[in-house]
């Protein structure tokens, strides 16, 4: 409580001093000079921006220098304001006592701190982290310039709650939160950079690249958290209570999450599936996209992307069409009539398959006679493709259309459906009086 009273007294003294100074002419003069400097900075920066073509000026410069120049031009008004106020402050120091130009000195220091922080924090691309760093740094700088930093920190540190031997204060919470956000951002940035470098390495398989990237991210995040906890002075032994609670949670409510996490690591380690593979799992067929810590995305080529838990790839039967190579054998069935030459039908089927661009010439397509049916001869046409990710049904459709055209050109007949044939023959029958036997009629359908 004494620290809070000290902080309150300091603020009251500052407010009282400012209130007394408001009645003096020198304080009004300093306010006027600060306003004049702000107008000069705004107008000058606007004129300079109109005359400078930044993209043309920085063409061919290094990216870091281009970004710094852009930030400097964006804060040009504040830079000019600082310069003008510094000149005014120097002039007043030479003409009067330092106390009579105190406000100009404070304004110059605050504006300088703002410019430096804006130029440094502006290099951060994440908007949230940029705002967090800028606001936090400028708040600390302002309190330090006004002489309130030490009393404020002492006041925030005076309130404390002891949890499991850990003394928790508002100052500790603020420091931990700010440092944790900054270190986690830095860890994510570093992991993204290293992940891009790993993915550009052609000597590693896609699954190993993903595994290395996940391990690097996990290690960096863990390292960042440990650094923050040690920096703010938290004793790790005081976290025994929280670790016990986490263990109970893992045992009861988080076992699925942990199972999916471990399954994801196993999948990446044993390379049973990897990004780009064409797989079938359950009712889903598609191409493996992103492999995350909890799920794996499967693109089904119809605009949908299924997020399948990693545990399903361990516990269910998975068909990987491209596990060892990209070659996939497909087949289509067709029938011919008994008055067609089966060898001619086989040759025509192979020619039809070879006419499709996606069908491989080697291994050579093969047509097998499977069965002598009651009304037709049954065949299976086997052919190979090496790009199942481009679709399977579409290439089957192309082969069937080519088979239809090729069989028609070579005179190989495809039998019509049985029910249609019966209906047609019944329609052609002409019953004679007293006889149940239909008259002989020549059917256009082949026997």
* pLDDT at site 434: 41
The answer to whether the Cα torsion of 138, 141, 142, 148 is positive or negative is positive
Residue intervals in the chain for CATH 3.30.70.100: 328-415
List of long-range contacts for 96-103, beta carbons under 8 Å, 24+ apart: 96/26, 100/26, 101/30, 103/27, 103/30, 103/31, 103/34
Instruction: Specify the CATH number of the domain 328-415.
Output: 3.30.70.100
* CB proximity list for 341: less than 8 A, separation 6 or greater: 412
Residue intervals in the chain for CATH 2.30.30.60: 258-320
* CB proximity list for 243: less than 8 A, separation 6 or greater: none
pTM summary value = 0.47
* pLDDT at site 132: 75
Residues 192, 13: Cα–Cα separation, whole Å = 50
* Other C-beta atoms lying within 10 Å of the C-beta of residue 146: 15
Phi, psi at residue 193, to the nearest 5°?
-65, -45
The answer to whether the Cα torsion of 124, 127, 132, 135 is positive or negative is positive
* pLDDT at site 382: 94
Q: Average pLDDT across each block of 10 residues of the chain; the chain has 447 residues. List them in order.
A: 58 61 67 88 88 80 81 85 86 69 79 82 73 79 77 76 71 81 85 85 74 84 84 66 64 72 80 83 83 83 83 86 81 92 92 92 92 90 87 90 92 75 52 42 39
Instruction: Specify the CATH number of the domain 258-320.
Output: 2.30.30.60
């Amino acid at each position: 409580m004494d620290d809070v009273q000290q902080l309150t007294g300091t603020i009251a003294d500052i407010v009282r001093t400012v209130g007394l100074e408001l009645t003096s002419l020198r304080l009004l003069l300093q306010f006027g000079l600060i306003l004049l400097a702000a107008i000069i900075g705004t107008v000058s920066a606007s004129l300079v921006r109109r005359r400078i073509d930044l993209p043309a000026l920085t063409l061919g410069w290094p990216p870091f220098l281009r970004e710094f120049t852009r930030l400097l031009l964006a804060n040009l008004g504040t830079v000019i304001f600082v310069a003008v106020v510094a000149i005014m402050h120097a002039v007043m120091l030479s003409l009067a006592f330092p106390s009579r130009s105190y406000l100009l000195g404070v304004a110059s220091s605050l504006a300088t701190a703002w410019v430096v922080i804006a130029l440094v924090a502006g290099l951060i691309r994440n908007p949230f982290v940029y705002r967090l760093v800028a606001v936090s740094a400028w708040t600390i700088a302002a309190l330090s310039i006004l002489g309130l930093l030490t009393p404020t920190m002492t006041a925030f540190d005076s309130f404390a709650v002891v949890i499991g031997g850990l003394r928790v204060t508002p100052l500790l919470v603020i420091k931990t939160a700010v440092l944790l956000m900054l270190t986690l951002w830095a860890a994510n940035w570093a992991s993204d950079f290293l992940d891009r470098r790993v993915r550009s390495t052609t000597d590693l398989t896609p699954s190993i690249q993903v595994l290395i990237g996940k391990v690097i991210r996990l290690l960096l995040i863990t390292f960042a958290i440990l650094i923050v906890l040690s920096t703010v002075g938290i004793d790790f032994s005081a976290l025994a209570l929280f670790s016990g609670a986490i263990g109970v949670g893992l045992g009861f409510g988080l076992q699925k999450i942990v199972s999916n996490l471990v399954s994801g690591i196993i999948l990446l380690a044993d390379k049973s599936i990897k990004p780009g593979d064409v797989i079938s799992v359950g009712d889903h067929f598609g191409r493996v996209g992103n492999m995350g810590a909890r799920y794996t995305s499967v693109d089904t080529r119809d605009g949908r992307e299924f997020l399948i838990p990693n545990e399903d790839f361990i516990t269910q039967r998975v068909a990987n069409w491209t596990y060892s190579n990209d070659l996939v054998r497909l087949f289509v069935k067709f029938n011919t009539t008994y008055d067609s030459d089966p060898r001619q039908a086989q040759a025509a089927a192979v020619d039809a398959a070879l006419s499709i661009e996606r069908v491989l010439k080697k291994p050579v397509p093969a047509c097998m006679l499977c069965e002598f049916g009651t009304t037709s001869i049954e065949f299976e046409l086997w052919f190979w493709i090496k790009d199942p990710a481009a679709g399977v049904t579409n290439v089957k459709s192309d082969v069937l259309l080519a088979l239809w055209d090729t069989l028609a050109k070579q005179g190989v007949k495809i039998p019509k459906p049985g029910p249609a044939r019966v209906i047609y023959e019944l329609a052609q029958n002409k019953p004679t009086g007293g006889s149940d036997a239909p008259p002989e009629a020549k059917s256009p359908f082949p026997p």
